[in-house]
Amino acid sequence: MKAYFRNKWTIAGLMLALFGWGPFCVVLVLRLTGSWPGAHLTGFGLLLFATLWPAIVCLVLGAVQTWGRHGN
């Protein structure tokens, strides 16, 4: 498991997920709890859309490379 988190593709995917999905999730939770009722999710949704598939592809590439090197 440690080797998976040392892979550059995995790190890139996690960074994309953190910075792309994080703001959307935070604003969504704030909106659902009523703390920020006037929040528009359009900009955050576009950020999520732009980072969703690249992050998933990076995470899959990291998993495939780690699995190929360590032969699990």
* pLDDT for position 1: 81
- Place 72 in a pLDDT band, splitting at 50, 70 and 90: low
- Both tokens of 56, joined, read 């998933």
The residue that leads in pLDDT, 57 or 71, is 57
- Both tokens of 24, joined, read 């959307």
pTM over 0.85: no
* pLDDT for position 71: 66
Distance of CA 15 to the CA centre of its chain: 7
pLDDT tens for 12-55 read 999 999 999 999 999 999 999 999 988 888 999 999 999 999 99
User: What backbone torsions phi and psi does residue 36 show, to the nearest 5 degrees?
Assistant: -140, 70
